[in-house]
């Protein structure tokens, strides 16, 4: 009788051990499933995050005219050329990068135009180019407002006949342009462009390096 009782006890222990082993395996499997689910979720979130980042970056680069940052144009390089040399056609009007002369112009206000190739060098140094159409010279109020931006430093202001709008704000790889309506110059728009892009050229050069005397 005792032997039968012992055998039954051993059988029950084995059965319990099998049940515990099965539960342990199920727990391990369940844990692995949870980990795999978490990993898949993280991967999906990372992919979505990357896509959102790329989308936002693309939107920022392709803001329409009048956007706070302007319109982004891919760099056309930084090759030096001489006056009169042939070079690639610029991808924006006015140009915002590309082949340029070996020396920049002094910052400040100009009554006469400068070669695009010279001012591009200024933008390489992080200067902002305000290119106004010569027809604005007949409007003294607007011209006074344009001249006022000279005090911001790192700003070069020149007339430019080739403009297809009254005003163009140009930085390295960035452009914002617009026409003047009702003798009103959007000062905050100009100031915001200067603030966003000044000193952001591929070469950082101090204002004092080419200030007009």
Mind listing the pLDDT tens digit for each residue in 57-116?
Answer: 554 444 434 456 799 999 999 999 998 899 999 999 999 999 999 999 999 999 999 999
144, part of any domain: yes
Contact assessment for residue 77 and residue 99, using Cβ atoms and an 8 Å cutoff: yes
Q: Quick one: pLDDT band at residue 7, thresholds 50, 70, 90?
A: low
**Is residue 136 pLDDT above 80, yes or no?**
yes
> Taking residues 177-202, what's their average pLDDT?
92
What is the side-by-side strand order in the sheet with 155-159?
A: 71-72, 174-178, 167-171, 128-132, 155-159, 108-109
> Taking residues 2-22, what's their average pLDDT?
63
As a whole number, the mean pLDDT across the chain is 84
d(CA 16, CA 162): 91
Out of 72-76, 113-117, 150-154, 205-209, pick the least confident.
Answer: 205-209
- Quote the pTM value: 0.67
Question: Which residue range is the domain that position 13 belongs to?
Answer: 1-61
Last residue of some domain: 61, 92, 113?
61
46, part of any domain: yes
**Is residue 55 pLDDT above 90, yes or no?**
no
Question: What pLDDT, on a 0 to 100 scale, did the predictor assign at position 31?
Answer: 76
**Is residue 8 pLDDT above 60, yes or no?**
no
> Taking residues 168-177, what's their average pLDDT?
97
Instruction: Provide the percentage of residues in the chain whose pLDDT is more than 90.
Output: 57
| CATH number, domain containing residue 93 | 3.40.30
The verdict on 87 and 45 lying in the same domain is no
Q: Quick one: pLDDT band at residue 179, thresholds 50, 70, 90?
A: very high
Residue 104 tokens, joined? 């920049």
Last residue of some domain: 15, 40, 61?
61
Out of 10-14, 73-77, 111-115, 163-167, pick the least confident.
Answer: 10-14
44, part of any domain: yes
Q: What is the DSSP string of the chain?
A: -HHHHHHHHHHHHHHHHHHHHHHHHHHHHHHHHHHHHHHHHHHHHHHHHHHHHHHHHHHHHTPPTT-SS-EE-------B--TT---PPPSSSS--SS-B-SSPPPBEE-SS---HHHHHHHHHTT-EEEEE-GGGGG-HHHHHHHHHGGGGSSEEEEE-TT-SSSEEEEETTEEEEE--BTTB--HHHHHHHHHHHTT-SSS---GGGGB--
Domains in the chain, number: 2
Question: What pLDDT, on a 0 to 100 scale, did the predictor assign at position 145?
Answer: 94
The verdict on 18 and 120 lying in the same domain is no
Question: CA 71, 74, 76: angle at the middle one, nearest 5?
Answer: 130
The verdict on 42 and 107 lying in the same domain is no
């Amino acid at each position: 009788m005792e032997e039968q009782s012992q055998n039954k006890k051993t059988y029950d222990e084995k059965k319990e051990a099998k049940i515990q082993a099965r539960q342990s395996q199920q727990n391990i499997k369940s844990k692995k499933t949870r980990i795999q689910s978490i990993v898949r979720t993280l991967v999906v979130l990372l992919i979505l995050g990357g896509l959102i980042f790329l989308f936002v970056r693309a939107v920022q680069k392709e803001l329409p005219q009048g956007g706070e940052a302007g319109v982004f144009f891919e760099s056309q390089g930084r090759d030096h050329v001489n006056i009169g040399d042939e070079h690639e056609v610029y991808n924006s009007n006015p140009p915002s990068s590309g082949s340029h002369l070996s020396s920049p112009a002094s910052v400040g206000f100009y009554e006469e135009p400068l070669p695009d190739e010279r001012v591009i060098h200024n933008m390489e140094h992080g200067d902002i180019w305000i290119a106004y159409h010569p027809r604005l010279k007949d409007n003294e109020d607007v011209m006074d407002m344009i001249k006022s931006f000279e005090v911001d430093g790192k700003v070069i202001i020149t007339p430019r006949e080739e403009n297809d709008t009254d005003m163009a704000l140009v930085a390295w790889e960035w452009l914002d342009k617009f026409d003047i309506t009702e003798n009103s110059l959007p000062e905050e728009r100009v100031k915001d462009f200067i603030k966003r892009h000044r000193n952001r050229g591929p070469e950082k050069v101090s204002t004092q390096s080419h200030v007009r005397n």
